[in-house]
Structure 1
Amino acid sequence: MPNADYDSAWKQAIELYWPDFTELFLLEEWGCRPAPESQDQELAKCSRDSNLGLFRVDKLLRAPGVDGQPYLWHIEIQAARQRGFAQRMFVCQYRLYEHFQLPMRSIAILGDHSPTWRPCRFELAAGNTRTTFDFETIKLRDFEDRLAELLLSDNVFAWLVVAHLFTLRTRKEPLERAIVKAKLLTGLRTCGWTRKKSRDVFDLIERMMTLTHSCRLSWKHSSKFSTGGWKWLGNIYGKSALNSVEWNGVKQGGRQLEKRGGRQLAKRGGRHAVRRAVKHAAKFEAKHVVDWSRCEA
């Protein structure tokens, strides 16, 4: 199974839909505050600073806090347990402060398998001198009991959390991942988003929930992503993209059946696939994703 692309999907989502991020994870309405400014260019200078040494930061933004004062927002996406992670958060905090001289919120998104790994503090002590650094954490596994609720939300990060959790669960089950991925992408139609927003979230989930080459071909050429799903995809990408990507999927699926079981079987299978796809597209509910794939982590 190819490695899931967690980091870039999360980073792009944070850049594009920051108010959704603060609403779901920080329980803060962004309101009329200005959009955050990426500090990637400044961060590149900071990372090359010979006095600070090299260090890596996933996402650094500059935006006002609830009090209107300018903050830095340091966000780390951590998809696996890492020894010394709290120390790394501390090092990033003091090095960034030394460079920018601004107060900073440090937030770690913990998207690993373990339910117990929850670093949130780093401490140093020497005699009566003590340094304590606390940072905010978002443990994605804490959302596992809220999957149905998340799938009924129009918050971008609700859908991204579900995609992340099911990607973890299906890391050794490519066929299960293909089924869940198809249902998630079909379910995006229920959100009522603009064409651009639908396209953005589709691309984020598509990138995160990687499939093996053979499984990807089967997914594209089958009815698991229903006829209604491909029609909706054509609406958000344009008819030309739909025709070039997937609209003939049922026909190609029929050809696969023909190779395996004869022309008549292929025709019957193709007709059945169409009827089934249309039926499920019409009755689709987002919560069905949870029922379809109760995979063990």
Structure 2
Amino acid sequence: MEDNTVVLERPANYGTAPDYDGLWKALIEELFEEFMQFFAPDLYDEIDFSKGSEFLNKELLKEFINEKKGRVEADQIVKVCLKNGHERWILIHIEVQGKTGKGFAKRMFRYFYRIYDKHNQEVYAIALLTDTEQAIVPNHFHYSFFGTELDYRYNVYSFHNQSIKKLEASSNPFSDAVIAGIYAGKTRHDANRRYAFKRKLMIQILQSTPTQPEHTRTYLSALFHFIDNILQVSNELEEKLEEDIIPYIRKGAEQQMLAGRKSNPWTKVLAEFEEKGLERGLERGIEKGIAKGREEAAKDFAKELIRKDFQNEQIMELTKLDLVEVEKLRESL
């Protein structure tokens, strides 16, 4: 059996919500085979996925991949088997991040040689660059010093200038994930545009899912969780989105039930959307309760001020109650 290890890399927290790195990491873990098929098709053909893939403890490489310092840390190692049966590892370095820093190429090389030196294994490296505005993408590291030269090249997938039309034509779930990533970058400061993109993408996926093979439909829950979180919108827009989306999901779930499908991912997606709605309703209820409590406290305070002969204008200023409310309280005493 051939052992091959996949190292998933992520940058440090950008300090903003949502957690883009965590979302990509979770989707890669959930749909690892599809990830390899989309981003590394040549290597994908050499992997025997029937033997499974194993996400190993990241402590395995901690001693030589320890670049945290607010920027990057080794996140996952995935062990896979090749079809040729050779006893060797392939370490696949995956980095999901936005703008690459000045030392990005050098850092990619350092990961390579540390992995190679530690385990003496061949290394497959790929960097996913999610910044849609970055046109210049470094894909190699060059070193030269008085005749001593080194040129290290690695694979790169950049979101910059990716064709939405071509991505939409793909049935791989990571094409939709890339589209969502592109939309997330382009609508960072435009909530209405983000809502429109999110609605369009989700409906497209729901409309195409019934025509996809059985195994493809199982992507639905993981993919929707990713899109829903990477393209976050306000509660108001989220409610509007659910009103539009839930009928599609209910229809799909009903069709799957009528078809006698044992596995029905539509019901899971529907439950997740309905649960979100309930959570928002609960939050609103709590907020209303707090607001009501504050209003009652303001009224009690106003009554005390009235008893102490404060003028209406003074009471209004101190309690933020309007004149009508203050006069009603004065009459009630």
The TM-score normalised by the length of structure 2 is 0.62
Percent of counterpart pairs with the same letter?
A: 20
- Structure 1 stretch 114-123 or stretch 29-38: which is displaced more? 29-38
Q: Is the 8 A contact 2:34 2:173 kept in 1?
A: yes
Higher RCO (CA 8 Å, separation ≥ 6 residues): 1
Q: Is the 8 A contact 1:183 1:225 kept in 2?
A: no
Mapped pair 1:236 → 2:267? yes
**Equivalent residue in structure 1 for 2:66, among 54, 62, 70:** 54
Alignment of 1:128-147 (within 5 A): 128-143=147-162, 145=163, 147=164
User: CA shift at 1:179, angstroms?
Assistant: 1.7
> 1:170–1:241: structure 2 CA closer, same or farther, 3 Å change rule?
closer
- Structure of larger gyration radius: 2
Q: Match for 2:139: what amino acid?
A: C
* CA offsets 1:36-82 (integer angstroms, 9 cap, x no match): 3223x1x32432x3xx4722224432324565543111111121231
Q: Is the 8 A contact 1:63 1:73 kept in 2?
A: no
Q: Match for 1:62: what amino acid?
A: K
Mapped pair 1:202 → 2:219? no
> 1:16–1:3: structure 2 CA closer, same or farther, 3 Å change rule?
same
Mapped pair 1:183 → 2:200? yes
> 1:187–1:71: structure 2 CA closer, same or farther, 3 Å change rule?
same
Q: Match for 1:209: what amino acid?
A: L
2:107 matched to which residue of 1?
A: 88
* CA offsets 1:202-232 (integer angstroms, 9 cap, x no match): 1011121123xxx233321467634523525
2:54 matched to which residue of 1?
A: 37
User: Counterparts of 2:106 and 2:245 in 1: how far apart (Å)?
Assistant: 47
User: Counterparts of 2:29 and 2:271 in 1: how far apart (Å)?
Assistant: 28
1:21 matched to which residue of 2?
A: 35
> 1:244–1:93: structure 2 CA closer, same or farther, 3 Å change rule?
closer
User: CA shift at 1:129, angstroms?
Assistant: 1.3
- Structure 1 stretch 188-197 or stretch 7-16: which is displaced more? 188-197
User: Counterparts of 1:237 and 1:19 in 2: how far apart (Å)?
Assistant: 22
* CA offsets 1:99-156 (integer angstroms, 9 cap, x no match): 322111011011113342211111222211112211111112242x2x1332243211
The TM-score normalised by the length of structure 1 is 0.69
Q: Match for 1:237: what amino acid?
A: K
2:139 matched to which residue of 1?
A: 120
Q: SS at the partner of 2:244? A: coil
Give unpaired runs (5+ residues) of structure 1.
250-297
Q: Match for 2:52: what amino acid?
A: A
Q: Match for 2:220: what amino acid?
A: S
Q: Is the 8 A contact 1:63 1:72 kept in 2?
A: no
User: CA shift at 1:6, angstroms?
Assistant: 2.3
Q: SS at the partner of 1:205? A: helix
2:186 matched to which residue of 1?
A: 169
User: Counterparts of 2:77 and 2:204 in 1: how far apart (Å)?
Assistant: 31
> 1:78–1:156: structure 2 CA closer, same or farther, 3 Å change rule?
same
